[in-house]
Structure 1
């Protein structure tokens, strides 16, 4: 296992910061590694806390009387200068549970109301998003959405279109559009699920 010798914070930003991590592995190879993090300072890095806390939450929700449409967002993303299909998501605020964050974030991004379903912790557990670049971990919350779509609660910085995708639209999106990885995996499962209940897998 590698040894971390020094950490240098390079930025002081509200949403994400860069840290240079100097260390060496068990072969003696020295590394100067760049890490992006939601941490505000070195003490909050997962390197230091050793905790797998949820920095953010991803919401996989179904909509409609038959629960046959997936709630997606089509959001402009600066890193690729294009629109990307994603599951609604957001940051967990200090002192907030990730389930409460899911309800709040879905409402802010779409205007819809989320009713989470019970799921074994292993399905909701925070997972690393891009561990080669960042220590960010996101929990996943599953549930049913209802209400009317509205952009009234969206932040000014967000450029989002809400999409209620049925089976055929999910297929089209996977074939033709840019899609975030976690979203793509859930859509793949959705289109190949033949049980009639997209959340059946949460029971076992």
Structure 2
């Protein structure tokens, strides 16, 4: 994959832009902009009624010995480069989060995912988008394959042990969510793990 050019857009095809007028703690009028995958009804229900939605899942899969995690090294068009991250994807209409995590994991890695626990939906980047995802934790089995990836996915499947995790964290591009999980799982953060 390769990025050809970047164009400024006045409207978006897959995302919707919203302006939010609000009052600051000092009583002044202010304005905030964000994008969303969903319509205004969802955004209003989140803000005015406190409703919680999920857009998809990020999958953290370990072997039974808890020595390896499955990650992907995927080309991300928005960055124009490869990044290490955990498999993730959007939930389909009518799908439960467990089903979405199993399906997305299979599509991205060819492996079978057996969920053990699912987090509550959490924001991915609350400063610019209202997207939330659940983190699905569990075990993987089977043989890795890229055969289920779409033409829009270019991802290498990586089995990460503690040494590889340390190398990724020190020398590679990685999403912040994935970095924090690697640090926590392998106890690599000297501040947190002492």
Match 2:159 to one of 153, 164, 177? 164
Q: 1:96-131: per-residue Cα shift (whole Å, max 9, x none)?
A: 1111100000000110100111x3xxx610111111
Secondary structure at 2:61 match in 1? strand
Q: Which residue of 2 aligns with 1:90?
A: 89
Using the size of structure 1 for normalisation, the TM-score is 0.79
Unaligned runs of at least 5 residues, structure 2:
1-9, 189-194
Q: Residue 130 in 1 paired to residue 129 in 2?
A: no
Unaligned runs of at least 5 residues, structure 1:
1-9, 194-204
Q: 1:122-159: per-residue Cα shift (whole Å, max 9, x none)?
A: x6101111111111111111010111111111121112
Tell me the distance in 1 between the aligned counterparts of 2:25 and 2:162.
Answer: 49
Q: 1:66-121: per-residue Cα shift (whole Å, max 9, x none)?
A: 3411100111122322111111100111211111100000000110100111x3xx
Q: Which residue of 2 aligns with 1:78?
A: 77
Indicate the RMSD between aligned Cα atoms, in angstroms.
Answer: 1.9
**Correspondence list, 1:37-76, <5 A:** 37-39=36-38, 41-45=39-43, 46-47=46-47, 50-63=50-63, 66-76=65-75
Preserved CA contact (<8 Å) 1:43 1:49:
no
Shift of 1:50: 3.0
Preserved CA contact (<8 Å) 1:77 1:83:
yes
